[in-house]
Amino acid sequence: MTDTPAGRYEIRIKGHLGARWAARFDGMTLTARADGTTLIEGPVVDQAALYGLLRTLRDIGLPLLSVTRVDPRQGEPT
């Protein structure tokens, strides 16, 4: 298994996370969307860090909708 290179990710979850959760996602931006989801976006240094974020979301108990790696040169999902 190879490590995921550093990059930016967009993680969507069902439900809203309040501002108090921001500390659990250091360096990430949390945005509550009008459609009832939360977008968590920002830099992730490697695959272990990504798994850590996903584990935190699992522990919170909100359903995971998507995980997308974003190409920082184009701002488009890869």
pLDDT, tens digit (0-9, with 9 covering 90-100), for 18-36: 878 888 888 799 999 999 9
Task: Say how far apart CA 21 and CA 75 lie, in whole Å.
Answer: 25
Sorted by where each begins, the domain ranges of the chain are: 7-72
How do strand 29-32 and strand 37-44 relate by DSSP bridges?
A: antiparallel
Name the E strands within the chain.
7-14, 29-32, 37-44, 64-71, 76-77
pTM here?
0.81
Task: Please give the CATH superfamily to which domain 7-72 belongs.
Answer: YebC, transcriptional regulation domain (3.30.70.980)
How much is the pLDDT for 50?
93
Which tokens in the block code for residue 8? Answer: 């930016």
What backbone phi and psi angles, to 5 degrees, belong to 47?
Answer: -65, -40
pLDDT tens sequence across 38-76? 999 999 999 999 999 999 999 989 899 999 999 766 555
How do strand 76-77 and strand 7-14 relate by DSSP bridges?
A: unpaired
How much is the pLDDT for 4?
52
How much is the pLDDT for 51?
94
